Structure 1
Amino acid sequence: MVFSVKTYNNINQVGLKELGNHFQIDGDLKENPDAYIIRSENLHDVTFPDNLKAIARAGAGTNNIPIDKATEAGIVVFNTPGANANAVKEAVIASILMSARDYISAYDWTNQLTGADVPKQVEAGKKQFAGTEISGKTLGVIGLGAIGARIANDARRLGMKVLGYDPYVSIETAWNISSHVKRVDELRDIFENSDYITIHVPLTDDTRHTFNSDSFALMNKGTTIINFARGELVDNQALFDALETGVVKRYITDFGTEELLNKEGITVFPHVGGSTAEAELNCAIMAGQTIRRFMETGEITNSVNFPNMHQALTAPYRITLINKNVPNIVAAISTAVSDLDINIANILNRSKGDYAYTLLDLDETDRSKVDKLAALFETSDHIVKVRLIANPK
């Protein structure tokens, strides 16, 4: 079977080779693809085609995808966490160093000098750019995921004291964080004790305006804020007030808006934190692998709206079901299978919020019986999407 994939935003072609020979990419693509692979394309005003089964975001953030809308339509949304982590880590470390030494202002000033006595002017004016060293200073890291953990570890290697806050850090990530990184239980500990603060959390109702008038009030004068996560994590008006009073020395962000531009103490980059050749390749590879695995086996890895599901396909047929998370749904599925005199080889059902995902492996070689079962599931009010996958072996 050949699957169709529509790509947006110039996905790395080497990474797309991970899809293999059973995937048709763009080119002669029909209007109703099986999957999207995107980067920054805004899908909030897009009408999803009926055949669309998956969307892979080649990156970690999914704010450009209407998750609730996709879930209701039975579309699994994937991201690629960690694929650009090293690129963002390096951007943040560079930002800390640039802030400490004010290299950007120094560069701008030097390049405005003219005349044969430039060396003399440099010597006379360089004192205004005397900075500080980061060794011995305290870095607060909010969010100890793939990016935050790397920043914390490398900042320690550069001689910084590091405080980390993340109430949801995974066990796997926790093992990779240096024992010298001090974990704190309250955000106020980060605000009160840090010379530099960097944030790496998704944008949610809880994290919006993490930096606000209350949090700025807890900080020491001269704090540097670095935001390579999401612009809306900062209340801009509160930031402007904190800059005016000297509480915030510098704000460095990768998310530009008009009100942030050309303001003293604010450095805005054009959303390039994860834009390296290596990161773009890693994201494309991970997105390709994710879509291929899902389309060929129904297994889910790194979905933001459905649970991870892994079950080796050894039976002749597999039916995947996206269903509403209602009582007795598994019993109803099992009864339907039994009524058609089909044996269940394996069944795995997990929920996430209001919806659940089921891998139903059938010990049945009669395709007509399996088709009849799939058609029966299609009529259920509680089942949103049905897929039938034949074992190629």
Structure 2
Amino acid sequence: MKVLIILYSGGQAAQEQPKLLGTTENKLGIYDWLKGLGHDVVVTDDKEGPNSDFQKHIVDAEILVTTPFHPGYLTAEIMDKAKNLKLCVTAGVGSDHIDLNAANKHKITVAEVSGSNVVSVAEQVIMTMLVLVRNFVPAHEQIVAHKWNVAQIARDAYDLEGKVVGTIGCGRIGYRVLQRLEPFNCKELLWFDYTDLPADAAKAINATRVATLDELFARCDVITVNCPLHESTRGLINADAIKKMKKGVWLINTARGAICDRMAIVDALESGHIAGYGGDVWDVQPAPADHPWRNMRGPNGNGNAMTAHYSGTTLDAQARYAKGTEEIIDNYLNGKPQNPANVIVADGKYATHAYGQRK
């Protein structure tokens, strides 16, 4: 069978660091294994447009592997051409680059490596939160520019202690963010999710569930987005939502870029309604050079803590999702059941509530 693997090219870094498994050079560590079993394996980073390797090889591929960091966007239209496609594996967490409703229509199984990056992303959330609240980026840029103006930086620098912090989504990542925030002595930790926590998990953290998003918006000094992207969350943080937030709120989004409306974020930051926006996810990936989130700033030249999408692809996370990808494919090849926690859709229906409440 043909296995199509869409990864990002690591260039010299991947050649020097073999632990960069999620690159075209190192091929998730599964290329030789699959070739040894006699399969046709195509590994590429070429994924854009009708003449791309992605669209050329998806036509007769039985297994597609892609990542959230360099996603091959599998639309319903492309899926109609993929007559042999039976399994889509996300090497990581987050399968919104696949039209899941179309996958159900075609009875294609979609699986991801559940839990492979939750610690990595939770740590990134805390780091980004501190970077924004402490106004770190302009402080560092000032030093690199050979300048020294403490007042210019301190005017927008605060402590995390005593602030109200809330997470939109309290799954594996959101929950771990709340755990890591407890030592900072925040005034309150809040969470919103349509799914309740298990009783023992809820008791293990000093955090309060709020009934509505509007309540979270109104009460929080810091808001972190930790929910999946699906029909109900696309554009969730828009101009109307931002108006309901405190002036000077900090927003962190390491979930998916399209959960936040692009220009609503730009306008709110530039006007000073939000004090900062940071994260590593973009509404298009890779982000084009002219994407406004690259250069947006607050009134004092602060408030931007954006990076390329790497929070869930640390070397530790890559080892986990490469191993998990191999296990999912091995289960498929040998007719063994998949770990239910990894299955997003199968047999024409959703196997999880992670991508919205479904009937």
Q: Distance in 1 between matches of 2:36 and 2:201?
A: 38
- Correspondence for 1:281 among 304, 314, 319: 319
Q: Distance in 2 between matches of 1:166 and 1:96?
A: 20
- 2:15 maps to none
**Residue-pair matches, total:** 299
| Shift, 1:247, TM fit | 2.2
- 1:336 maps to none
- 8 A Cα contact 1:260 1:268, kept in partner: yes
Stretches (4+) displaced over 6 A: 17-22, 28-31
3-state SS, counterpart of residue 6 of structure 1:
strand
Q: Distance in 2 between matches of 1:158 and 1:19?
A: 46
Alpha-carbon distance change, 26 to 105 in structure 1, aligned in 2, over 3 angstroms? farther
> What pairs up with 1:241-390 in 2 under 5 angstroms?
241-254=267-280, 255=282, 256=287, 258-264=291-297, 265-300=303-338, 301=340, 302-306=342-346, 322=347, 352=350
- Correspondence for 2:88 among 49, 52, 55: 55
3-state SS, counterpart of residue 126 of structure 2:
helix
| Shift, 1:22, TM fit | 7.7
Q: Does 1:166 align with 2:193?
A: yes
- Output the amino acid matched with 1:299: P
- 2:150 maps to 126
Alpha-carbon distance change, 46 to 96 in structure 1, aligned in 2, over 3 angstroms? same
| Shift, 1:15, TM fit | 5.3
- Output the amino acid matched with 1:8: I
> What pairs up with 1:216-231 in 2 under 5 angstroms?
216-231=242-257
- Output the amino acid matched with 1:259: P
| Shift, 1:170, TM fit | 5.5
- Correspondence for 1:42 among 73, 86, 111: 73
The higher-RCO structure (CA 8 Å, 6+ apart) is 2
3-state SS, counterpart of residue 3 of structure 2:
strand
- 8 A Cα contact 1:149 1:176, kept in partner: no
The percentage of aligned residue pairs carrying the same residue is: 25
- 1:7 maps to 5
Q: Distance in 2 between matches of 1:19 and 1:194?
A: 49
Superimposed CA distance per residue, residues 112-166 of structure 1 (whole angstroms, 9 cap, x where no aligned partner) = 12xxxxxxx63xx122222222122121101111111111110112322311111
Q: Distance in 1 between matches of 2:233 and 2:135?
A: 29
| Shift, 1:52, TM fit | 2.8
Q: Distance in 1 between matches of 2:227 and 2:258?
A: 11
- 8 A Cα contact 2:242 2:268, kept in partner: yes
| Shift, 1:24, TM fit | 4.3
3-state SS, counterpart of residue 297 of structure 1:
coil
Alpha-carbon distance change, 236 to 177 in structure 1, aligned in 2, over 3 angstroms? farther
| Shift, 1:224, TM fit | 0.3
- List runs of 5+ in structure 1 lacking aligned partners: 114-120, 307-321, 325-350, 354-393
Moved more, 101-110 or 177-186: 177-186
| Shift, 1:60, TM fit | 1.6
Alpha-carbon distance change, 78 to 219 in structure 1, aligned in 2, over 3 angstroms? same
Superimposed CA distance per residue, residues 341-385 of structure 1 (whole angstroms, 9 cap, x where no aligned partner) = xxxxxxxxxx549xxxxxxxxxxxxxxxxxxxxxxxxxxxxxxxx
- 8 A Cα contact 1:32 1:50, kept in partner: yes
3-state SS, counterpart of residue 343 of structure 2:
coil
Q: Distance in 1 between matches of 2:197 and 2:271?
A: 38
| Shift, 1:192, TM fit | 1.0
Q: Distance in 1 between matches of 2:224 and 2:38?
A: 41
3-state SS, counterpart of residue 110 of structure 1:
helix
- 1:109 maps to 142
> What pairs up with 1:206-225 in 2 under 5 angstroms?
206-225=232-251
- 2:125 maps to 92
Normalised by the length of structure 1, the TM-score is 0.68
User: If each structure's strand is expressed as a fraction of its own residues, which one has the higher value?
Assistant: 1
| Shift, 1:282, TM fit | 1.0
| Shift, 1:275, TM fit | 2.1
3-state SS, counterpart of residue 267 of structure 1:
strand
- List runs of 5+ in structure 2 lacking aligned partners: 8-22, 44-56, 298-302, 352-359
- Output the amino acid matched with 1:128: Q
Normalised by the length of structure 2, the TM-score is 0.74
| Shift, 1:182, TM fit | 1.2
Q: Distance in 2 between matches of 1:273 and 1:26?
A: 31
3-state SS, counterpart of residue 185 of structure 1:
coil
Task: Work out which of the two has the higher radius of gyration on C-alpha atoms and give 1 or 2.
Answer: 1
| Shift, 1:219, TM fit | 1.6
Q: Distance in 1 between matches of 2:4 and 2:261?
A: 36
